[in-house]
Amino acid sequence: SYELTQPPSVSVSPGQTARITCSGDALPKKYAYWYQQKSGQAPVLVIYEDTKRPSGIPERFSGSSSGTMATLTISGAQVEDEADYHCYSIDSDGNQVFGGGTKVTVL
Amino acid sequence: EVQLVESGGGLVQPGESLRLSCAASGFTFSSYWMSWVRQAPGKGLEWVANIKQDGSKKNYVDSVKGRFTISRDNAKNSLYLQMNSLRAEDTAVYYCARYSSGWYFTYWGQGTLVTVSS
């Protein structure tokens, strides 16, 4: 079955840049999406179609994709960005898959 | 404002059944594919099932095929998940989610907790 692989955790100091990676064999041909999930809350879409930012999402959130890896970048991380981040994509058979999630700690 | 409100979760024993509901408002429910996504305690998100606008197509993750049934009532703006033969590994928060025009989720409910334990 298709898998998306993320690092379990990333730590960043306030104001610094955090990069979260997501690797998957279908990513060269399929878009990646990123969801932010704060403790006890539902996920929120922060990046769609690799690089697009929904309205209301701060500009410090950006996405990129190259080959089999997609990356979510938080430029100038804030304390309120502390959350779990999940990548999501669809494989060539239409299976909808999430990565295992990355816990971002800002301290 | 789009709202998705799940209900029906609870504690059940292995082998028992449960029916989840999701009440939708703030958009034309009958125009969108809908889905259930779950999250086991301390784990990542897992897509469970989805259903076409008119209910004519349904898809399931392999682990629930033959046990779970997704359905909808467009007249009541409601989505359902009938869960039979529940197992301990089905323990999770179950989210109702709406797709965008593409195959990704733009709106989520707050989730309902299902615990399967003896």
Q: What is the pLDDT along chain A (107 residues), one digit of tens a residue?
A: 889 999 999 999 999 999 999 999 999 999 999 999 999 999 999 999 999 999 999 999 999 999 999 999 999 999 999 999 999 999 888 889 999 999 999 99
Cβ-defined contact of B108 to A43 (cutoff 8 Å): yes
What are A35's strand-pairing partners? A45, A86
What is the spatial distance between Cα A25 and Cα A2, in angstroms, rounded to a whole number? 8
Cβ-defined contact of A101 to B111 (cutoff 8 Å): no
Average pLDDT, chain B: 97
Judging by beta carbons within 10 Å of its beta carbon (0-12, 13-18, 19+), is residue A7 exposed, middle or buried?
Answer: middle
A61 in Cβ contact with A72 (< 8 Å): yes
What are residue A36's phi and psi, to 5 degrees? -100, 135
Chain B's closest residue to A90, CA to CA, is: B103
Of B45, B102, B103, the CB nearest to A86: B45
Cβ-defined contact of B44 to A100 (cutoff 8 Å): yes
The C-alpha torsion from B48 through B52 and B56 to B60, rounded to 10°, is -10
Positive or negative: CA dihedral A85, B102, B50, B22:
positive
Chain A's closest residue to B105, CA to CA, is: A45
Tokens standing for residue A70? 């997609």
Residues of A in contact with B62 (CB under 8 A): 1
pLDDT-derived band at B101, boundaries 50, 70, 90: confident
Strands B68-73 and B58-60: unpaired
Please tell me the distance in Å from B16's CA to the nearest CA on chain A.
27
What is the spatial distance between Cα A54 and Cα A56, in angstroms, rounded to a whole number? 6
Collapsed DSSP state (helix, strand, coil) of residue B29: helix
What are A74's strand-pairing partners? A18, A61
Cβ-defined contact of A48 to B104 (cutoff 8 Å): yes
